[in-house]
Chains A and B, each alone.
Chain A
Amino acid sequence: MVIIEDLHKRFGKNQVLSGLDLTISEGGVFAVLGPNGSGKTTLIKSVLGMVIPDKGTITVLGENIKKKSDYRHKIDYLPQIANFPSNLKVKELIKMIKDLRAFTNAEDQLIELFRLEPFLDKKLGNLSGGTKQKVNLVLTFMFDSPLIILDEPTSGLDPISLIRLKDLIQKEKAKGKTILITSHIMSFVEEVSDEIVFLLEGKIYFKGTISELKNKTNQPDFEHAIASILIDNHA
């Protein structure tokens, strides 16, 4: 699905990714974890073509993405911070993104799922952080793409929306889609993901299932397993 080879990226003096290799096979939920500044968002943005790598190749669905844009039809992306143009109404934004991508009817269902009807005629600038995140989720999930990338999907969500989001992820997974998630909420990751990828200092430190990680670190639960990696590496 996604093959990343020898990816390098530096921002000024800060080497964020240094020779990262990663292969994500088709189907399932993958969580990309790592301490702050370990390069999770940079990795995701490289796959999306928003960050241009210094070195290395990225292949999405068998196509080298360098200087291409059409492959993004096959990716649904949820950005980390939902900053939308504040003078647009929710309805207008949804319509606009639909115009840019493809026809879809799935948004009505999603709007209902996240109880967004009362906000459709409000301007995005007047919405709360959590509501914006819900709009963000609707925009992401309304297209039926084989690859879904979620950068911190839980931020700002209330408990009930969180449960709905988890259901949504499971539903998409059942359709055979590949879902890439970054999150700092370990319980969320443990619940939804099939496999985790742990980034440390711009490289992959661990890739495998959660039980493999627990065995490797000799820790009974996931949260402590992650913590022990961080302590061992003074991160």
Chain B
Amino acid sequence: MRSRWSYVYFAFYLLLGVVLLFLNNDLSKAVITLMNVIIVLVPLIGTIFGVMYYYNSKEFTELLLAQPLKRSSIFLGQYLGVALSLSMSLILGLGLPFVFYGLFESSAIWDFSLLLITGTFLTLIFTALAFNIALSNENKIKGFGYAILLWLFLAIIYDGLFLMTLVMFDDYPLDKLSLIGTMLNPIDLSRTLILLKLDISALLGYTGAVFKQFFGTNFGLIVSFIMLTIWIILPVLRILFKAKKKDF
């Protein structure tokens, strides 16, 4: 099941890449459009595939548990299996059309690589989160519900709340707060990272300048990637911890 769907996913990205290039007729513009799609879609696919794979392979997991295998290797293997195959679909699906379009001679190559790297990070993060949810919920429907809610929260609701706080505390200096707020949400973090790399931060006004000052530097870039890595490590650790204690 997993392999068939990752082909579909791959084909989808391939199509998306080709269509965007065809419509925009310009690499940098296509990258921007792509960012908007990736930032929302990659987490959603990671979440849904993660939950779906866990519930679907439950019987298989039980078969493996009776074999002389460590629990940590069983679950880590399953997680990496899903997350890496999704990442591969993303990288190959988007990469191929861009490469054929002449990515390597273009200045957009760094922006595009950053896009793929953050996309991979987001896949790893959200698949791990999905596994966490599935491990904690025996009930499939509940698990799916929570997973979708999590995605909705981080992709949409978080931004809304964030914006509302900013409006409410308009009179205070908010650049530090908004910086931290951005850091705590992997989707926001990825979006900001790419936007600033694309040099359209002038659109963001004063806060944009603060952001540019932070994320634009190597230090900001490193801190951001460390944050994204933490977003992977913590859920993965919880997968291992939960898996050790679970009854099957």
Contact = CB atoms under 8 A, between A and B. Distances in A.
B172 interface: no
Contacts of A101: 67-68
B70 interface: yes
Contacts of A173: none
Interface of B: 1, 57, 59-60, 62-71, 244-248
7 contacts: A50-B62, A51-B247, A52-B246, A69-B70, A69-B71, A87-B1, A101-B68
Contact of A100 (B1, B57, B69, B245): B69
A79 B63 contact: yes
A193 B223 CA distance: 65
A100 B67 contact: yes
Measured as residues with beta carbon below 8 angstroms from the partner, the interface class of chain A is 20 to 34
A50 B247 contact: yes
Contacts of A52: 244-247
Contact of B68 (A51, A71, A84, A87): A71
A97 B57 contact: no
Contacts of A45: 247-248
A122 B96 CA distance: 36
A70 B68 contact: yes
B62 A83 contact: yes
Contact of A50 (B59, B65, B68, B245): B65
Sort A-B residue pairs by CB-CB distance and give the 5 closest, nearest first: A83-B59, A72-B68, A77-B66, A51-B247, A73-B68
Contacts of A49: 65
Most buried by A among B64, B67, B70: B67
B59 A51 contact: no
A67 B240 CA distance: 13
Interface in A44-70: 45, 48-52, 67, 69-70
Contacts of A69: 68-71
Given A72-B68, A79-B66, A101-B67, A50 B248 contact: yes
A11 B248 CA distance: 11
A57 B64 CA distance: 23
Interface string A75-95: 101010001110100000000
Contacts of B67: 72, 97, 100-101
Nearest to B67: A100
Given A50-B247, A52-B247, A69-B71, A84 B66 contact: no
Nearest to B4: A87
A73 B60 CA distance: 18
B62 A85 contact: no
B78 to A, nearest CB: 12
B245 A85 contact: no
Contacts of A87: 1
Contact of B57 (A70, A77, A85): A85
A101 B100 CA distance: 45
Most buried by B among A48, A52, A69, A84: A69
Nearest to A136: B63
Contacts of B246: 52
B247 A84 contact: no
Contacts of B248: 45, 50-51
Nearest to B3: A87
B76 to A, nearest CB: 14
